[in-house]
Amino acid sequence: MNGHRNRESFGESYRWDFSEGPDARIIEVYNSDVTGTNDYCLIAITRNTEEECEEELDGQISDGIFENARIDNPIEISLEELNEMIKQEKTA
């Protein structure tokens, strides 16, 4: 939430792979150890469809990674933008 540091961002970055067979379900969370800030964290969700990605994000906000956290306005970025942000933070 604007004006609050993100609680999740204080932990180490991690990757969860819950994939089973052809059902892709990978969640990657980039926290301050990668981004260099506690103002936000970056999350990459890999699922089979865009709809599944959106459902996964909703679930992570309400009952998962960000449960009980103050979430302002999630912003969708492309994988290329995500990689560029991480690259820029590492060289800053």
Residue entry with tokens 């009980």: 68
User: What are 59-84's pLDDT values in tens digits?
Assistant: 998 888 887 777 777 888 887 887 88
Q: Token digits for 59?
A: 């679930």
Q: Answer whether 42's CB lies under 8 Å from 87's CB.
A: no
Look at residue 92 in the predicted model and tell me its pLDDT: 67
Residue entry with tokens 């991690």: 14
Stretches where the chain sits below pLDDT 50 are 1, 3
Q: From residue 41, give the alpha-carbon distance in Å to each of 5, 22, 71.
A: 10, 28, 11
Look at residue 75 in the predicted model and tell me its pLDDT: 82
Look at residue 22 in the predicted model and tell me its pLDDT: 96
Look at residue 3 in the predicted model and tell me its pLDDT: 47
H or E stretch at 69: none
Look at residue 21 in the predicted model and tell me its pLDDT: 96
Calpha distance 32→62 (Å, rounded): 22
